[in-house]
Amino acid sequence: MQKRVGFIAVVSVLAVLLALPSWGWQGRMAGMGDAAGLVADESDFLIHPAAIATGKGFNAYGHYRLTYEKTKNWEYSASVPAMDVIYPFTADGRLWKHEGQLGAALGLGPGRLGVFFDYTTANGKYTGTEVYEGFSGPGYENFELENKLDNFALKAIYGLPVGPVNVGAELGFAYVKEEQKNLMPTEMLVNYPWGAEDYPEYNLLPYMIPFDSKYWEANAKLSAAGKTGPVSYMFTLRGGLPFAADNEYVHSDLSAPASFFSAEGKVKGFNVAGDVWMRFAVSDNISLPFVVSAGFKKITRDGSGVSNYATTVEYEHEAKDVSLTVGGGAEMTPASGTRLAAGLYYNYLKSEQNVQFMESGVLSWYFDNYTDMLKTSEHRLTLRLLAEQELNSVVALRGGLSAFYGLAKRDYSYNADGNNFWFPPSPVSVSADGAHYGVNASLGASIKAGAVVLEPFINAGYAKFKTDGDGFTESMPTYVEVNKTNWLAGGGLSVKF
């Protein structure tokens, strides 16, 4: 009897949903594997503000997405055969990420205005072990890694027609809190910075460089969209910079409390980028989309403070990121209510990080310079396939599949100097090559419930990173190997009315 009542209740809910009249927001794109630029969608104005000018009436939007990332076998191993020393680290962990958005768009004057509030939070925790094999025989270390993000953003988008062209702009402000932290409970170390002084067994910087930052960020976009013959286009320039920033690097060693320091400073930098989307209409049923996107971001964190030794500690951490995407594909509607699309894209990704620590006192000074920690680059090809089918005037189903393969390069180098070393520390410089590849699948739907459109979606994926290579510790050959496996799962819901 209970089963029968439950069945009737489920059928009744579905009947209500299917009896109510949809089209697309971010849930639609997520259900097709985030194929922005491959197929057209209303949410395109979040990338190209000029596209908001084509909307009509009042619309309200909501979006929530949850992503779970499981990291397995995150391994970093460095060995110096001439010294019979090996430093193998391995970690496992997980990251939870929540993304939410609320907003609305309406006509205002000759154009259309959109106001949106976005919130993103992420929390990653990883635990690992190290087996230090060398001069004193095997020793064992445990370590922990943490990274956190909270990003609150408010933005206003306005677009209007100017002759045959739509123009648009976006202005936004965000409050960002970011933290990265590493710990070695066995040695009671937090954010140890002096590994370049011949202490590689304590050096966790190849995993992540610690900081604790809070800052505001201003962002702006300028955009144009139009059509020339069979070719439609959207073009956007964007940029941003942090301000009103605070940054802190805290190091503690409970076995030597006098080494504690807190270096406080600022966050500086900027980011610039551009996006060009074009679509050539071959016929009423076939179009050829083309995408070019490029971006550059530079962030510098610094700080200074006094340790419990009464020494002055200064540090600076610089991160640069370059990205380029070029590609295109084909979109077709072979039958009414059926959409198929495929695209192939080339991505160039480059990231450089370096950090410097200087400690100076009355009789001594130390300088640890991690010149490439890390320096990475990748040449990647990504294939995207997607399909969308309208079952009736109420329900549409969709799915997407993407796969990528990249040639990856990763460099590590550091050195130390000072006037109070008995023996000069050994500089390290190694370069590793390998591959980064993965696959992701997504499923989604649109359900019209009266004036409301519901867009549930789910996705899952797998990625593998593997590099190895040679270099030197001073003049001694050194071998480095890095492995990392990620499993992804997630889903969410978008709402539009």
Q: What is the pLDDT of residues 178-223, one digit of tens each?
A: 999 999 988 789 999 999 999 988 999 999 999 999 999 999 999 9
Please give the pLDDT value at position 84.
83
Share of the chain above pLDDT 70, in %: 94
Cβ atoms of 299 and 324 within 8 Å: the answer is no
On the question of pLDDT at 358 being above 90, the answer is yes
On the question of pLDDT at 20 being above 70, the answer is no
Share of the chain above pLDDT 90, in %: 85
More confident residue, 369 or 6: 369
d(CA 479, CA 492): 43
Cα-Cα-Cα-Cα dihedral of 107, 109, 112, 116, to 10°? -90
The chain-wide mean pLDDT, for the chain, equals 92
On the question of pLDDT at 140 being above 80, the answer is no
Please give the pLDDT value at position 133.
76
Summarised one tens digit per residue, pLDDT across range 62-120 is 999 999 999 999 999 999 998 888 889 999 999 999 999 999 999 999 999 999 999 99
On the question of pLDDT at 434 being above 80, the answer is yes
Summarised one tens digit per residue, pLDDT across range 225-284 is 999 999 999 999 999 999 999 999 999 998 888 889 999 999 999 999 999 999 999 999
pLDDT band at 355 (very low <50, low <70, confident <90, very high): very high
pTM of the model: 0.91
pLDDT band at 163 (very low <50, low <70, confident <90, very high): very high
d(CA 41, CA 325): 20
Q: What is the identity of the amino acid at 233?
A: Y
Burial tier of 388 (Cβ tally within 10 Å: 0-12, 13-18, 19+): buried
Burial tier of 390 (Cβ tally within 10 Å: 0-12, 13-18, 19+): middle
pLDDT band at 11 (very low <50, low <70, confident <90, very high): very low
CA distances from residue 99 to 42, 65, 134, 151, 439 in whole angstroms, order as listed: 19, 5, 46, 10, 22
pLDDT band at 138 (very low <50, low <70, confident <90, very high): low
Quote the tokens at residue 419. Answer: 């006037």
Task: State phi, psi for 51 to the nearest 5 degrees.
Answer: -70, -15
- C-alpha angle 35/39/41, rounded to 5°? 95
Q: How far is CA 9 from the centre of its chain?
A: 42
Please give the pLDDT value at position 256.
86
d(CA 153, CA 174): 4
Please give the pLDDT value at position 139.
59
Please give the pLDDT value at position 9.
39
pLDDT band at 137 (very low <50, low <70, confident <90, very high): low
CA distances from residue 353 to 298, 317, 437, 479 in whole angstroms, order as listed: 10, 7, 23, 21
Please give the pLDDT value at position 420.
82
DSSP symbol at 14:
H
Please give the pLDDT value at position 255.
83
Please give the pLDDT value at position 3.
40
CA distances from residue 138 to 85, 91, 410 in whole angstroms, order as listed: 10, 19, 28
Please give the pLDDT value at position 185.
87
Quote the tokens at residue 31. Answer: 């259900």
Q: What average pLDDT does this structure show over 27-51?
A: 96
Please give the pLDDT value at position 136.
54
Quote the tokens at residue 342. Answer: 């495929």
d(CA 299, CA 265): 13
Q: For residue 215, what is the enclosing H or E element? A: strand 211-228
Q: What average pLDDT does this structure show over 359-379?
A: 93
Please give the pLDDT value at position 135.
58
Q: How far apart are the first and last CA of the chain?
A: 38
Give one word for 110, left, alpha or beta, with left for phi > 0 and alpha for psi -120 to 50. Answer: alpha
Q: What average pLDDT does this structure show over 380-387?
A: 98
Q: For residue 3, what is the enclosing H or E element? A: helix 2-19
Summarised one tens digit per residue, pLDDT across range 260-272 is 999 999 999 999 9
